[in-house]
Chain A
Amino acid sequence: MIVDSHMHLGMVAVQASVDKSIEAVMAHMDHLGIDISISTGSGLMFGRFEAGFEEAMQAYRRNGGRIVSCAYFNPHYGEESLKQVRRCLKHEAFVAIKIYPGVGIYANDERWDGAWRLASELAVPILTHSWWESDYNPVQRYSMPNLFERHIKAYPDVNLIFGHAGGRYEGHRVAADLARRYPNVYMDLSGDSYSFGLVEWLTGQAGADRVMFGSDLYMIDGRTVMGRILDADIPPDAKALILGENAARVFKLKRLPISWT
């Protein structure tokens, strides 16, 4: 099975729009053989909670559960945001909590504690953006993988997925090191982390059971990631884990794709 563990419904203003409707996304999933996608909608992330919530529910209901979603926690809005996360996670359409330290709060800040406590209470994973210092995108410094270690240690029952696997060379090294040392740490391949041999390297460092396919659609084309997994110099069983089985396990996906029922 193939699970896109990191994508987004909606849009972002900086990027001119191709058709990003739920129907277009479904057609793209069918074309690539993706069974289930895990979305964090732009409405949820950018402060249009009700619209984002409704979009997530529609995406789930209209497609036999093939698009599920992450609730989104923004620590700038503390308790109010936690209430929204709770509301989302009452529905089987939601399977995780997404956090994005790039909102300007370092990942080791105590203002993130609420999300970790809630993830522990509700037994859901946390998917986070992760990256390394960037010359042209300074907010990436809030999401460096080493900053997460305090929470990883404090909440061993919460699985953390480093979106983009740390982003760049040094971030990859730190993310893989944390995945090797902590059983609750995973990495996804979404985004534009295209280093030669990355799939093989992450798999060798942390194990194929710690790496996941993700696209970062609506921005990025998932084919840039899928081809690297399909053609990687790793055993077929490792590819199956990375392409979907790890995500099914970690996100506790409940539904089979419609084609299998």
Chain B
Amino acid sequence: MDNIVIPPEARTRVEQLAREYRGRKKELKFFDGNLWMGNPMQPELCLKWDVDDLLGYMDRYAIEGGIVTHTSAVKEDPCASNEEMLCRIKDCGRLWGGLVLTTDMPPGHTDWGAYLDGALARKARLVRLFPKSHGFSLERWCGGALLDAVNERRIPLVMWHMETNWSAIKTLCDTYPGLPVIIEGRPQKILYHSRFFYPLLEQCPNFHLELHNLNMYLGIEDIVARFGAQHLIFGSCMPFNDPNTSQMMVTDARIDEDARRLIAHENLKTLIKRIQLP
């Protein structure tokens, strides 16, 4: 048998698929919980990481708005980097801030509440913790004061799954049932962990998964069918990652349109609206 002869209409079809996909992305008004500025934390293909670069990428990839974190807050000086990020987004209507916190009180402050209220007034809208990399525990004897203050304000709390463990996440969700907890798949994808997170989705209404590296085959469809769409938060991890990774999982998921909108932007916006602002 001869090899395939590819008909010319095959190329036309690819162009049409690309056009349709870009159109679906625009319609969904993506709101991104996982944007970054600063410098790459390891060698990356993308070398331009300023806020202005990020805004250009957001235009290019049809992401309307989102929450940005400073990479230096993870690797270097959390407080100074948070401050730099809040200054950079001050006049930008499309970006809000993600704070990286440790259990150390920021310099010049004597209680977490005052610090968080100040940051919220300057557009901070989520908190990221790195217990493993930054060397602290989420248990009350170590992280209690910080977690109590974040919980009182209902600020969404984000962690990479490899910075903690699934039992600690369960304890956190149970201890603070009003605190939205969002887990991201970095650096390892969330693929081999569904026997951990399916019970969490079932048992913890405040447990959420972010999409940029939640890449299991038909995972979106399965999670939405079993637990509803309210647990899934759109995130791209741009410019580490190409946002199309998570965007097409949403645009082309076999779920209803209401669920698609929830995941693309409404779920995260709802969590933000529930924050107790000062």
User: Interface residues, chain A, CB within 8 Å of chain B?
Assistant: 1-2, 14-16, 18-20, 24, 28, 31-33, 92, 135-136, 169-170, 172, 192, 194-199, 201, 215, 217-228, 230-231, 236-237, 239-240, 243-245, 248-249, 252-256, 260
Q: Which residues of A contact B249 (CB under 8 A)?
A: 221, 223-224, 227
Contact between chains at B215 and A220 (CB < 8 Å): yes
Q: What mask results when residues 17 to 33 of chain B are scored 1 for a CB within 8 Å of chain A, else 0?
A: 11001100100000000
CA distance A92 to B215 in the complex (A): 32
Contact between chains at A219 and B216 (CB < 8 Å): yes
Q: Which residues of B contact A219 (CB under 8 A)?
A: 191, 216-217
Give me 17 A-to-B residue pairs in the complex whose CB atoms sit less than 8 angstroms apart, sorted by A's number. A16-B198, A20-B217, A31-B252, A135-B187, A169-B44, A170-B43, A196-B46, A221-B218, A221-B220, A224-B246, A227-B247, A231-B244, A236-B14, A239-B15, A245-B6, A245-B10, A255-B1
Query: Which residue of B11, B187, B222, B240 contacts A18 across the interface (Cβ within 8 Å)?
Result: B222
Query: Which residue of B22, B25, B217, B239 contacts A220 across the interface (Cβ within 8 Å)?
Result: B217
Give chain B nearest CB distance to A9 CB in angstroms: 12
Given contacts A19-B218, A221-B220, A227-B244, 6 further A-B contacts (CB under 8 A): A18-B218, A194-B242, A223-B252, A227-B247, A230-B21, A255-B1
Give chain A nearest CB distance to B253 CB in angstroms: 8
Does B110 reach chain A (CB closer than 8 Å)? no
Q: Which residues of B contact A135 (CB under 8 A)?
A: 187
Which residue on A lies nearest to B1, using beta carbons? Answer: A254
Give chain B nearest CB distance to A146 CB in angstroms: 17
Within 8 A of A (CB), among B24-57: 25, 42-46, 57
Contact between chains at A196 and B239 (CB < 8 Å): yes
Q: What mask results when residues 129 to 164 of chain B are scored 1 for a CB within 8 Å of chain A, else 0?
A: 000000000000000000000000000000000100
Top 4 A-B residue pairs of the complex, sorted by shortest distance between their CB atoms: A227-B248, A227-B244, A223-B248, A196-B46
Contact between chains at A14 and B192 (CB < 8 Å): yes
Give chain A nearest CB distance to B9 CB in angstroms: 9
A18, A20, A249, A260, most chain B CB atoms within 10 A: A18
CA distance A16 to B218 in the complex (A): 12
Q: Which residues of A contact B239 (CB under 8 A)?
A: 196
Decide yes or no: A256 and B252 within 8 Å by CB, A196-B44, A196-B242 being known contacts: no
Q: Which residues of A contact B251 (CB under 8 A)?
A: 227
